[in-house]
């Protein structure tokens, strides 16, 4: 049976993105550099956590994590990651707009799911074949899966900044017990791991 994990970058005050997410600022105004800095400037120092983020057998993400646009698809857009995304596994993208699956270099295939979070999870479980499934984001997608009580392990990567506004994690999530597994601090981020008790 697949373990359901979730990795989220966030500010100390709980924001996973700032305001005005768009092509030029995927994480919104003032958020990209501070939330992702540890991944690029201190990759070696955070290698264990970076390895965990992409170690699942399948992934689920919201449309905004794949594409800055809304409405009908621009079929020339193939994601934020270039020709070879880091996932190397099936990725199920939640959307209201159908699109044919998109196979990329390195083993990543994006599948576009219009039937909601349950359909995406069922398809991810089948694709993962017993390996873990990671709910990759963004905050609205993670909040839906937390509210549904299906996430087993929550991994938060907390940047030392207060954003003050934006897309907040945990909105709409009822009381949920988290059991600490691990806390690890590096120069640019604090990594928190929890078992989620539903």
Structural domain boundaries of the chain? 4-68+80-197
% of the chain beyond a pLDDT of 90: 89
Helices (H), the chain: 32-41, 47-53, 63-66, 117-128, 139-147
**CA angle (19 as vertex; 22, 172 as ends), nearest 5:** 115
pLDDT value of residue 198:
66
Q: How many CB atoms lie within 10 A of CB 190?
A: 15
pTM of the model: 0.95
Kindly report the average pLDDT of the chain as a whole number: 95
Confidence label for 102 from pLDDT (cuts 50, 70 and 90): very high
Average pLDDT over residues 4-14: 97
Q: Are 153 and 126 in contact (CB under 8 A)?
A: no
Q: Are 92 and 133 in contact (CB under 8 A)?
A: no
pLDDT value of residue 118:
98
> What is the CATH code of the structural domain delimited by 4-68+80-197?
3.40.430.10
pLDDT value of residue 56:
97
Q: Which long-range contacts (CB under 8 A, 24 or more apart) does 76-82 make?
A: 78/102, 78/104, 78/110, 79/104, 79/110, 80/26
Confidence label for 33 from pLDDT (cuts 50, 70 and 90): confident
Per-residue pLDDT tens digits for 60-71: 999 999 998 889
């Amino acid at each position: 049976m697949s373990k359901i994990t979730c990795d989220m970058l966030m500010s100390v005050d709980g924001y996973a993105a700032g305001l005005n997410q768009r092509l030029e600022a995927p994480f919104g105004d003032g958020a990209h550099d501070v939330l992702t800095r540890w991944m690029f400037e201190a990759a070696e120092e955070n290698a264990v956590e970076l390895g965990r983020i992409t170690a699942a057998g399948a992934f689920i993400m919201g449309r905004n994590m794949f594409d800055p646009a809304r409405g009908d698809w621009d079929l020339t857009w193939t994601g934020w990651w270039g020709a070879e995304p880091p996932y190397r596994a099936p990725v199920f993208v939640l959307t209201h707009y159908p699109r044919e699956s998109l196979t990329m270099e390195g083993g990543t295939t994006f599948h576009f799911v219009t039937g909601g979070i349950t359909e995406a999870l069922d398809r991810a479980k089948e694709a993962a074949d017993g390996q873990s499934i990671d709910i990759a984001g963004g905050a609205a997608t993670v909040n839906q899966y937390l509210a549904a009580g299906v996430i087993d392990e929550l991994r938060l990567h907390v940047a030392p900044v207060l954003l003050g506004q934006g897309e907040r994690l945990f909105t709409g999530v009822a009381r949920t017990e988290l059991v600490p597994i691990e806390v690890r601090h590096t120069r640019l981020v604090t990594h928190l791991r929890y078992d989620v008790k539903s």
